[in-house]
Chain A
Amino acid sequence: MTRISRLSLRWKLPGIIAMILVAAVAALSALALQAARNASIELATVRLEHAARRVSTTASLNVSAFVRRLDSLSRSPALVEALRTPLAPLSDSVLRALRRIAPDSTVAIALVDRLGRSRGRDSLMHREKLPPGLGTVHRMTISRLQVRDQVPEYSIVSPVRDSGQIVGHVVQWRHVTRVTSSTNLISELIGDGAVLLIGNADGSTLTEMADTTRPPVVRDSAAAAQARTRHIQASAPIPGTPWAFFVEFPSDIVFRPTGVLPWQSLLLGLGVIALAILAGTLLSRGITTPLIDLTTAAESIAGGDLTPRTVAIERGDEVGRLSRSFRVMADSIRDSRGQLERRIEERTAELQHALESLHETQDELVRKERLAMLGQLSSSVGHELRNPLGVMSNAVYLLEHTLEPPLAPRVQDCLRMLRSQIHLSERIVADLLDSVRGRSPHRRRVHTAELVSEGIGRVTVPSGVRLDVHIAPGLPVMHVDPDQVGQILVNLLTNAVQAMDGRAGVVTVRASNSQRRIRIEVGDTGPGVPADLSEKIFEPLYTTKARGIGLGLAVSRSLAQANGGSLSVMNQPGGGAVFTLDLPLGEPA
């Protein structure tokens, strides 16, 4: 499973940059420190060597002075004479001469004959142990430094000659003494902390010249090793001797100037980190801020809001390109969703329309079904009623013609009532059968004005009702079944008359035409049709009249539709209803 870093790019980027820079600064600082130390060491070493050489030169002059004095002593005739006579005690003059050349630092001085016997018993003269191989020394020799009783000392051996023959030697033992001038010189040349040491050229028997203790302490090997780790050393051989001067200087003083370097590096590093974080933050903000904006916008799009805050980053770089691509993508999503929504709306509207038309068709089918059933029923009932009516009518006729006159008025009344009611029943049956006659239309070209006039002629208009007929001149022919349209007109006119309910009023018949239709309007001045019943009245068996079976309008609408027309009702502004019958024009001949 991939581990997902939750750290924001905004912090990650400057962090990485800072870390890289810190590492670089640390590495550079370490290198610089090392270089500085090396340079310091080199510089100090050069200075120490120079100082050591200067001190050596001075020391060499001092040594030369000793040597010269000893040489001149070894040539004195009294000394030669003393050695020529081995058994005679040393004369006072010889002793004085020997003592004269012995400075403070002289430990002992001895006059040794050819056979290696030491002459004299004076404390200064006495030394139990002579340097080895004394007999073979042919010229002035300065020995290596040696430690005796923890004190560094050396010997100078000068041969004494008589006519070229070596007759004995003068041996002088001396301590290493502090030379203030040399240490001062070193301090002057190098500064406080410098240490001047003298020792054999190979580094053994090192003795600190500035040591104020008496006798001076010889450095042992452990101290020497410790000194080497803490100090910088330089040496210079002292000419005419097997010795050398060593100059030491503490490393920490040498490195003191470089000591601030780590702190400076640290400060520099901190500054670099701050700069890096600043730069990184600015850089990452330049990248992450638009990224965050884009992310927010993308999330809001994912959440369904297709009009997020505009992501407008006008930049020429990749972020700018990303932003532009994002905008284009968001627009395209919005467009396609808009299209989708529009399409869904269209489809929904189509479906709604289809559903409505399906409902209409279904209603129509149901209505037709009901009408057909009612038609059958009415037809059967009508036919069946006509037989008994016929019998009754025959019977009345027989009664009227067979009863002996004069008839009692009461009988005459009864006969008249029978005749009248039979006639009425017959009318009802006739109307019923007419209204449900459900045959398919035989359409043909029919003169509109004639058909309308004929329909009007078939309706009995009571005396209180005025008939107002407006037939537009030159109406085109219709293409309908004249019987069926005639029946519609009779139904509408009968209804209009009945709507007056016995009161006075006006029935208006208006016939006109448009480009494609003939319009016949039948209006009355009755109470009108309540708005919520404007469709209901076209349903079979629905009636508002006290008498009637509620088939007239249903049948009329059905017939109008069968003939390619329509029938509807509206209330007139001045009161009363107006039925509008639209019918198709006749096909061009």
Chain B
Amino acid sequence: MLVVDDDRDMVQTLCDILELHGWETLRGYDGESAVTLSEEHGVNLLLMDVRMPRMSGLDAWQRIHLRRPAARSVLMTAHVAPETLAQVEGQGVVRVLRKPLDVPELISVLEGARLEA
């Protein structure tokens, strides 16, 4: 499981929570590293922020999805815009969650995604 956010605290806390729930985590802090890391480690499941500097979460996910069509992701954003949803529809995005995340909801969504991946 690769957790990507440009906010290091966010990545830290999320990883802690996921590890608490028994997940193995990798940490990324921007879109490019997300692409590289998922490639290097053969990651099949990502929790990634949409808005990030240099390369946005959406762009990064589109690249990853091209190379690894089986991979699945859960995206996070401060504001769930309808256009965002339309952009990633049918591209292996299991869900777009709004920040701040509701932990029980996050866990259940991720469980579902692991089954798909």
| A residues whose Cβ falls under 8 Å from a Cβ of B | 379, 382-384, 386-387, 389-395, 397-398, 401-402, 422, 426, 433
Complex Cα distance, B9 from A289, in Å, reads 109
B101 CB-CB contact with A under 8 Å:
yes
Compute how far the CA of A422 lies from the CA of B79 in the bound complex, rounded to whole angstroms.
Answer: 17
B14 interfacial contact with A, CB 8 Å: yes
Bound form: Cα–Cα A402–B17 in Å:
9
Not counting A393-B101, A394-B17, a sample of 11 additional A-B residue pairs whose C-beta atoms are within 8 angstroms of each other reads A379-B79, A382-B78, A390-B99, A391-B7, A391-B10, A391-B13, A394-B10, A394-B16, A398-B17, A398-B20, A422-B100
Indicate if the CB atoms of A387 and B79 lie closer than 8 Å.
no
A251 to B14 CA separation, bound complex (whole angstroms)? 164
Q: Which residues of B are found within 8 Å of A386, using beta-carbon distances?
A: 78-79, 98-100
Across the A-B interface, how many residue pairs have beta carbons closer than 8 Å? 55
Which chain A positions have C-beta within 8 A of B103?
Answer: 394, 397
Q: How far is the CA of A387 from the CA of B49 in the complex (A)?
A: 10
The chain B residue with its CB closest to the CB of A433 is: B79
Contact in complex: B79, A390 (CB < 8 Å): no
Q: A389 with B99: in contact, given A383-B51, A383-B78, A398-B13 (CB under 8 Å)? A: yes
Residues of A within 8 A of B51 (CB): 383
CA distance in complex: A384, B51 (Å)? 10
Partner of A387, one of B7, B16, B17, B20: B7
Which of B10, B14, B79, B100 meets A383, CB within 8 Å?
Answer: B79
- B5's nearest neighbour on chain A, judged by CB, is A387
Closest 4 pairs (CB-CB, A-B) = A394-B13, A390-B100, A386-B78, A383-B78
Contact string against A for B residues 42-80, beta-carbon threshold 8 Å, 1 for contact and 0 otherwise: 000000000100000000000000000000000010110
Chain B CB within 10 A, most for which of A391, A395, A398: A391
Docked CA distance A292–B100 (Å): 98
Alpha-carbon distance between A564 and B78 when the two chains are bound, in angstroms: 31
Q: Which residues of A contact B20 (CB under 8 A)?
A: 398, 401-402
B78 — which chain A residues lie within 8 A by C-beta?
382-384, 386-387
Pairs across A and B, CB under 8 Å, 23 listed: A379-B79, A383-B79, A386-B78, A386-B79, A386-B98, A386-B99, A386-B100, A387-B7, A387-B10, A389-B99, A389-B100, A390-B10, A390-B100, A391-B9, A391-B100, A394-B14, A394-B16, A394-B17, A397-B17, A398-B13, A398-B16, A401-B17, A402-B16
Contacts of A387 in B (CB 8 A): 7, 10, 78, 99
When C-beta atoms are compared, the residue in chain A nearest to B83 turns out to be A439
Which residues of chain B from 16 to 57 have a CB within 8 Å of any chain A CB?
16-17, 20, 51
Name the CB-closest residue of B to A385: B78
* Max chain B Cβ within 10 angstroms of own Cβ: one of A389, A395, A422: A395
A398 contact set on B, CB distance < 8 A: 13, 16-17, 20
Residues of B within 8 A of A393 (CB): 100-101
Q: Chain B residues with Cβ under 8 A from A401's Cβ?
A: 17, 20
Docked complex Cα distance between A422 and B101 (Å): 12
On chain A, the residues within 8 Å of B9 by CB distance are: 391, 395
- Separation of A391 and B8 alpha carbons in the complex (Å): 9
- What residues on B are CB-neighbors of A392 within 8 Å? 100
Q: Which residues of B contact A426 (CB under 8 A)?
A: 100
Distance from B84 Cβ to chain A, minimum over Cβ atoms (Å): 13
Q: What is the minimal beta-carbon distance from B11 to any residue of chain A, in angstroms?
A: 9
Q: Is the CB–CB distance between B101 and A382 below 8 Å?
A: no
From B7, B76, B79, B100, give the contact of A382 (CB < 8 A).
Answer: B79
Contacting residues, chain A, for B100 (C-beta < 8 A): 386, 389-394, 422, 426
Residue among B51, B78, B98 with the highest chain A CB neighbour number at 10 A = B78
Least Cβ distance of A585 to chain B in Å? 27
On chain A, the residues within 8 Å of B7 by CB distance are: 387, 391
Considering the complex, give the chain A residue whose CB is closest to the CB of B16. Answer: A398
A384 to B49, CA, bound (A): 13
Q: How far is the CA of A445 from the CA of B100 in the complex (A)?
A: 35
Q: How far is the CA of A422 from the CA of B16 in the complex (A)?
A: 20
CB of A507 to closest CB in B, whole Å: 30
Q: How distant is B91 from chain A, measured CB to nearest CB, in Å? A: 23
How far is B15's CA from A397's CA once the two chains are assembled, in angstroms? 12
Q: Which residue of B is nearest A383, CB measured?
A: B78
